Amino acid sequence: MHPFQELIEKFNQDFDTLHFPSQPATLYEPSEYFLKIGGKRIRPVLCLLGNELFSDLHPDAFLAAKAVELFHNFSLVHDDMMDEASLRRGQPTVHTKYDANTALLVGDIMVIRAYEYLQPIQSNHLSKILGLFNQTAREVCEGQQLDMDYAKKATVTIDEYIHMITLKTSVLLAASLEMGAIIGGAGEHNCKHLYEFGKKLGIAFQIQDDYLDAFGDASLFGKEAGGDIKQNKKTFLLIRALEMANAEQLITLNALLASDPADKVDQVLTIFKDCKVDAWAEDLKQKYMQEALAHLESIAVVSARKKPLIDLANYLMNRIQ
């Protein structure tokens, strides 16, 4: 058993290599570029933690972890195209640094590379892992579609937003954990609770993400300051503010959504604070975190084995970037 920080290091050592052949360079050089600009590697580490919850680290867990990381990067490359995002982790996105056709094919080759990493997994686990991976991949695409659909919708409820976030973000965290657990030989009951732990943790993670985008220190966060607010993104915070605002606040907020004044971010943040959206988000995050921990509690292994996962969950919930 290892602390999660050590597993991140172990994964990074394994992952810090070329993932593609050299030719055609017009396809593979941009693919390596994007993988090199980093990321927190939360998903692959969840896979390793899921494995160590039940057994010693197995080489197959590293294969699944790499598949998950490749899949995550595929979804980022294509999502950035759809969102017309120019920066990711503070660096130019693939379609910005190269062009749209390159980014399209880079995403495609990354998802195929993900399946290449899964292929050598021992055959008694392969079908189950592949089934879980496929289902998750499909749900992530559905989540991205809902995200685009919601951008065009006048009103989105908190429940709709949670449904979308569950698909777009949470299920991949959940599946990462469960893939590790399957490789570790976990039974159905334990797998399901671990999956639910990941799902709830993922929602708490997204609440934190939305919070940081609005209230965090942009210089640490690697994205544009108040980027969500500038784009009128329907986040947890905006949806709640639209629900809670009084008549006067609602007029101001809707006017801000329909315009683009220089101090838009500051004005929206003032309304968020007046509506106590920040405190509400903190409470909601804690609620999901407690639900997540209750599922972890239900997993039938000695408590000591759960410590690295609890540490990671706490780290994610208290991160400032």
When the beta carbons of 99 and 297 are compared against a copy of itself, the nearer one is 99
> Whose Cβ is closer to a copy of itself: residue 13's or residue 21's?
21
Please tell me the distance from the alpha carbon of residue 162 to that of residue 179, in angstroms, as a whole number: 23
Q: Under 8 Å CB-to-CB from 247, ≥6 apart: which residues?
A: none
Strands (E), the chain: 87-88, 91-92
**Stretch touching a copy of itself by CB under 8 A, among 20-28, 178-186, 190-198, 282-290:** 20-28
Nearest CA-CA partner of 295 in 205, 193, 201: 193
Of 5, 134, 157, 314, the one binding a copy of itself by CB under 8 A = 134
Kindly state whether residue 18 participates in binding a copy of itself, applying the rule CB under 8 A. Answer: no
Distance CA 73, CA 210 (A): 20
3-class DSSP state for residue 41? coil
Tell which one of 10, 14, 27, 33 touches a copy of itself (CB under 8 A): 27
**Which CB sits closer to a copy of itself, 116 or 278?**
116
Choose, by CB under 8 A, the member of 66, 72, 113, 193 that binds a copy of itself: 113
173 touches 205 (CB < 8 A) = yes
Cβ-Cβ contacts under 8 Å for 248 (sequence gap 6 or more) = none
Q: Which residues from 143-182 bind a copy of itself, rule CB under 8 A?
A: 144-146, 148-149
Distance between CA atoms of 113 and 71, rounded to whole angstroms? 8
Whether the CA torsion 241, 242, 246, 251 is positive or negative: it is: positive
Nearer to a copy of itself, 162 or 281 (CB): 162
The reply to whether 290 sits near a copy of itself by the rule CB under 8 A is no
**Bridge partners for 247 per DSSP:** none
Q: Which is nearer to a copy of itself, 79 or 228 (CB)?
A: 79
Judged by CB under 8 A, which of 3, 38, 59, 131 binds a copy of itself? 131
Q: Does 223 bind a copy of itself (CB under 8 A)?
A: no
Identity of the residue, 24 or 90, whose beta carbon is nearer to a copy of itself in the bound complex? 24
Tokens of 151: 């951008």
Q: Which residues bind a copy of itself (CB under 8 A)?
A: 24, 26-27, 78, 81-82, 101, 104-105, 107-109, 111-113, 115-116, 118-120, 123-124, 126-127, 130-131, 133-134, 137-138, 141-142, 144-146, 148-149
